[in-house]
Amino acid sequence: MPLNPIVMRVLSNRQFTQRAVESCLAQDIDGDVRVTVIDNGSSDGVGDYLRSVEGIHLTVLPEARGLHRVWNEALNTVFRALGAEYCLVVNNDVWLRPDTYRLLRLDQGLFVTGISADTEAQTREADPRSRIPHPCFSCFLIRREVWLRVGPFDTHMETWAGDGDYHLRMDEQGIDAYAIRVPFLHRVSGTLKTAPPKLRQKICQQADLDRVAFLKKWGFAIGSREYYARFRQKRENLYQATGRLA
- Quick one: pLDDT at residue 188? 66
- Per-residue pLDDT, averaged over 113-136, amounts to 96
- Please check whether residue 234 lies inside any domain of the structure: yes
Q: Quote the pTM value.
A: 0.94
- Please check whether residue 246 lies inside any domain of the structure: no
| % of the chain exceeding 90 in pLDDT | 81
- Please check whether residue 88 lies inside any domain of the structure: yes
SS3 category, 158: coil
Per-residue pLDDT reduced to its tens digit, 147-184: 999 999 999 999 999 999 999 999 999 999 999 999 99
The dihedral over CA atoms of 151, 155, 157, 158, expressed in degrees to the nearest 10, equals 130
- Please check whether residue 245 lies inside any domain of the structure: no
| % of the chain exceeding 70 in pLDDT | 96
| Mean of pLDDT over the chain | 94
Q: The CATH number of the domain where 42 resides is what?
A: 3.90.550.10
The dihedral over CA atoms of 59, 78, 172, 100, expressed in degrees to the nearest 10, equals -90
- Please check whether residue 28 lies inside any domain of the structure: yes
Question: Where in the sequence is the domain holding 113, given as residue range(s)?
Answer: 3-240
Number of domains in the chain: 1
